[in-house]
């Protein structure tokens, strides 16, 4: 009557040693294959050896342990491989960018603009672009942080009913907004509609549109983590609601709020597409963000990268390194602050 019956607890299983042997066999066979056939290259070698190993491991497991264990082993091997495969491009991007960037960067790069630099000249730098990016990101922050924070306050502290639903829904829509569309909007509205022309301020507004939903989302999460007891304790002392929010809720959530805001800043600092349509780009130093085209670091990298000349491409790599350094410092800073976060 028993369909599956009693099972033996002890089962034959593939030992570590046997797996090692299978691995060595796969590498050996691949080496043999590479001497005998026109296969070549490190990447191909790793790929072929890996495939051989996976197949052999599954076959051995099937023979020794049976189908269920073989399937288990195969699936788990593929899952772990997926994680490694996901890490490879990250390492490749960072290592390659740092390599090329370090070769290309020079002391003058951070202190000179591109004003009057000829197309083949190995000179000039990103000073004007760094100044532009700084101003644009500050403008974006000044617009989006208060707006985003207050919108989050509304959602968490005051919001009820349809309006909250719609605000949250539109924040979602904004999160998915392609950055180029944000740029197009400011171009259509500010540059074409109001005839204000290209400027760093226009770029700041475009970046603000991208930054607002990130700030709202992060702040919303953090404000929700503040325990209600704290609010009630404050109300019980007769503190008005707005004072409670400003002097009890905000301080309690401050580490988390700062983390969210820094990450948002890091995200928009690297945005290129909106700058193209709003700041437009400019070779000389322009410190006034309110009139006339301006450069920005990502924009600088993009325009140099599009050039056919090596000197320009080198400047692009130097710029990319600078950009990565800035956003990574911001990300690490945000992470450090997260650890101090008492609520998380």
Near other proteins in 104-133, by CB under 8 A: none
Task: Considering only the stretches 49-57, 149-157, 247-255, 284-292, report the one whose residues sit in contact with other proteins under the rule CB under 8 A.
Answer: 149-157
- Residue 212 is a binding residue for other proteins (CB under 8 A): yes
Report 43-62 residues binding other proteins (CB under 8 A): 43-44
User: Is the distance from CB of 180 to CB of 213 less than 8 angstroms?
Assistant: no
Going by C-alpha positions, the residue among 297, 296, 295, 315 that lies closest to residue 305 is 315
Task: Considering only the stretches 3-11, 16-24, 55-63, 117-125, report the one whose residues sit in contact with other proteins under the rule CB under 8 A.
Answer: 3-11
Shortest Cβ distance from residue 132 to other proteins (Å)?
14
Task: Considering only the stretches 120-128, 134-142, 228-236, 300-308, report the one whose residues sit in contact with other proteins under the rule CB under 8 A.
Answer: 300-308
Our CB check for other proteins shows the closer of 134 and 181 to be 181
Taking the C-alpha atoms of residue 313 and residue 319, their distance in angstroms, rounded to an integer, is 10
Q: What b/e readout covers 204-213, taking b as 16+ CB neighbours within 10 angstroms?
A: bbbbbbbbbb
Our CB check for other proteins shows the closer of 63 and 173 to be 173
Angle at 96 between CA 95 and CA 100, to 5 degrees: 120
Shortest Cβ distance from residue 277 to other proteins (Å)?
6
- Residue 301 is a binding residue for other proteins (CB under 8 A): yes
Paired tokens of 57: 């491991």
For residue 35, what are the CA distances in angstroms to 30, 41, 42, 43, 48? 9, 12, 13, 15, 13
User: Which element (helix H / strand E) includes 190?
Assistant: none
Task: Considering only the stretches 25-33, 102-110, 134-142, 184-192, report the one whose residues sit in contact with other proteins under the rule CB under 8 A.
Answer: 184-192
- Residue 69 is a binding residue for other proteins (CB under 8 A): yes
């Amino acid at each position: 009557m028993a369909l599956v019956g009693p099972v033996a607890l002890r089962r034959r299983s593939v030992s570590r040693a046997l797996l090692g042997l299978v691995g060595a066999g796969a590498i050996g066979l691949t080496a043999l294959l590479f001497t005998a056939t026109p296969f070549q290259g490190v990447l191909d070698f790793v790929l072929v050896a890996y495939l051989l190993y996976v197949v052999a491991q599954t076959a051995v497991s099937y023979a020794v342990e049976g189908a269920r264990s073989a399937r288990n082993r195969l699936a788990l091997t593929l899952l772990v491989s997926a994680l490694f495969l996901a890490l490879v491009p990250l390492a490749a991007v960072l290592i390659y960018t740092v390599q090329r960037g370090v070769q290309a960067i020079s002391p003058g790069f951070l202190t000179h603009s591109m004003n009057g630099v000829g197309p083949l000249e190995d000179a000039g730098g990103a000073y004007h672009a760094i100044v532009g990016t700084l101003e644009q990101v500050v403008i974006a922050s000044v617009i989006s942080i208060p707006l985003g924070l207050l919108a989050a306050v509304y959602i968490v502290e005051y919001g009820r009913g349809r309006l909250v639903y719609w605000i949250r829904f539109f924040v979602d829509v904004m999160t998915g907004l392609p950055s180029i569309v944000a740029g197009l909007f400011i171009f259509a509205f500010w540059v074409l509609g109001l005839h204000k022309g290209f400027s760093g301020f226009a770029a700041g507004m475009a970046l603000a549109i991208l930054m607002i939903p990130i700030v709202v989302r992060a702040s919303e999460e953090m404000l929700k983590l503040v325990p209600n007891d704290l609010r009630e304790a404050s109300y019980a002392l007769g503190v008005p609601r707005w004072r409670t929010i400003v002097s009890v809720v905000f301080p309690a959530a401050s580490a988390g709020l700062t983390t969210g805001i820094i990450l948002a800043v890091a995200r928009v600092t690297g945005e290129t597409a909106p700058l193209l349509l709003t700041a437009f780009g400019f070779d000389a130093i322009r410190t006034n963000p309110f009139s006339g085209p301006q450069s920005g670091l990502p924009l600088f990298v993009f325009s140099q990268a599009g050039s056919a000349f090596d000197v320009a491409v080198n400047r692009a790599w130097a710029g990319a390194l600078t950009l990565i350094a800035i956003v990574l410092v911001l990300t690490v800073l945000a992470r450090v602050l997260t650890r101090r976060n008492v609520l998380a």
